[in-house]
Amino acid sequence: MPMDHALPDTLSVRWPDGTATPPAETDAAIDRAAAVLRAGGLVAIPTETVYGLAGLALSESSVERIFIAKGRSSTNPLIVHVDSVEMARGLASDWPVAAERIARACWPGPVTVVVPKASHVPDTVTAGGPTVALRCPDQPVARELIARLGEPLAAPSANRSLRLSPTTAAHVLESLGAKVDLILDAGPCGRGIESTVVDCTVSPPAILRPGPFSAAALAAALGDSIAPTSDATPDAASPARSPGQAARHYAPRTPLEISPRSAERVSELLRAGKRVGWLTTRAADARTRRIATSAEVVVVPMPDDPAPHAAMLYAVLHAVDKRSLDWIIVDEPPARDDWQAIHDRLTRAAAPEQEPADDESPPPASA
């Protein structure tokens, strides 16, 4: 049985591009991960988006352990990871044309499709709902693990609920510690933010959570229109189309503010005697350099291209969050389709702290 008290082993894994099989150590690490999972344990796995906390998706008890380890609300369904379109189809009671097109065009990759669930998919994994969210990760070790198991893995981000997602194995260890049984370490995640979630049960398909694939990229893959996220700032009063899209999410402990005039805002906070972290794409500006001479500010230069910006965003927030600052100020991202996922994550990170009850709610009752 998996042990709850010992810190997990971290095994290095790698899979050089263009090779059909992994190096021997990685091969052994995948076998060990499969054994832990078959025994009902939880393994933190690398994906191209963020590290996932994986358990057997078709096992009620494994899925319940995931909810407990994360302190995740039982109303927030998990994404089920597959190694192929064929495995995905086997988990769906209906496979809409949109799901087929997205899967064929974007998988393996950071797009999740929501489809009607097959009856053998446990209600726990879908938070009691009639649909299941499916994704095939663009990470060869993750796919090989699923292939060896011959069954899908439920894998939400490997962090305590509502906190920053992990993009390194060290982040996982810091957040979950002994709550995970084994960590596979493939280095920093390439994409760095969570997948785009697309509801394929409606027509046209609708983006429930923006992600690395923008609305324009998805529309191109679909050869059809796509309904963009209705509102990047979720409204607590409106019915949850994507359950678990909590207003506050992906949050550092330090208060975070998105500022359209970040230089003024940082100067104002410094004058008020505050210590400030400042994520800015304008680090080279004379004005920024002047402000940066203050010992009370940590200036983090950020790329002004959304893909590399997303790839480093959580790692930067994790690092700045450790410096015990009073504020994190972030430049307001451009109002463009390809910045929408970053805008979404920052908006959730900036949302006011919620009732702790939701974060600590018990896992779903077992069947």
Q: Is residue 276 involved in binding ligand AMP (CB under 6 A)?
A: no
Q: Is residue 73 involved in binding Mg ion (CB under 5 A)?
A: no
Give the residue from 320, 179, 301 showing the smallest Cα distance to 252: 320
Q: Is residue 288 involved in binding ligand AMP (CB under 6 A)?
A: no
Q: Is residue 259 involved in binding ligand AMP (CB under 6 A)?
A: no
Q: Is beta strand 153-154 parallel, antiparallel or unpaired with respect to 79-81?
A: antiparallel
Among Mg ion, ligand AMP, none, residue 109 binds (CB under 5-8 Å by kind): none
CB nearer Mg ion, residue 87 or residue 246: 246
CB nearer ligand AMP, residue 46 or residue 77: 77
- Residue 256: HSE in the Cβ half-sphere, 13 Å Cα cutoff: 28
Q: Site for ligand AMP (CB under 6 A): which residue of 29, 43, 63, 78?
A: 78
- Biggest CA pair distance of the chain: 62
**Is the separation of the CB atoms in 118 and 90 below 8 Å?**
yes
Among positions 209-248, residues that touch ligand AMP (CB under 6 A) are 209, 242-245
Helices (H), the chain: 24-38, 60-70, 85-89, 97-106, 140-149, 169-176, 215-222, 262-271, 286-291, 306-321, 340-350, 356-359
CB nearer ligand AMP, residue 30 or residue 155: 155
Shortest distance in whole angstroms from residue 273 CB to ligand AMP: 37
Give the residue from 30, 59, 27 showing the smallest Cα distance to 152: 59
Q: Is 167 helix (H, G, I), strand (E, B) or coil?
A: coil
Q: Is residue 195 involved in binding Mg ion (CB under 5 A)?
A: no
**Is the separation of the CB atoms in 110 and 196 below 8 Å?**
yes
Q: Is residue 62 involved in binding ligand AMP (CB under 6 A)?
A: no
Give the binding range for Mg ion (CB under 5 A) out of 59-67, 152-160, 175-183, 251-259.
152-160
Within 8 A by CB and 6+ apart from 221, the residues are: 101, 102, 105, 106, 213
CB nearer Mg ion, residue 96 or residue 234: 234
Q: Is residue 194 involved in binding ligand AMP (CB under 6 A)?
A: yes
Residue 222 CB neighbours (<10 A): 19
Q: List the x/- string, 102-141, binding to ligand AMP by CB under 6 A.
A: ------------x-----------x--x-xxx--------
Q: Is residue 157 involved in binding Mg ion (CB under 5 A)?
A: yes
Q: Is residue 77 involved in binding ligand AMP (CB under 6 A)?
A: yes
Q: How far apart are CA 350 and CA 367, in angstroms?
A: 37
Footprint of Mg ion on this chain (CB under 5 A)? 157
Footprint of ligand AMP on this chain (CB under 6 A)? 76-79, 114, 126, 129, 131-133, 156-157, 194, 197, 208-209, 242-245
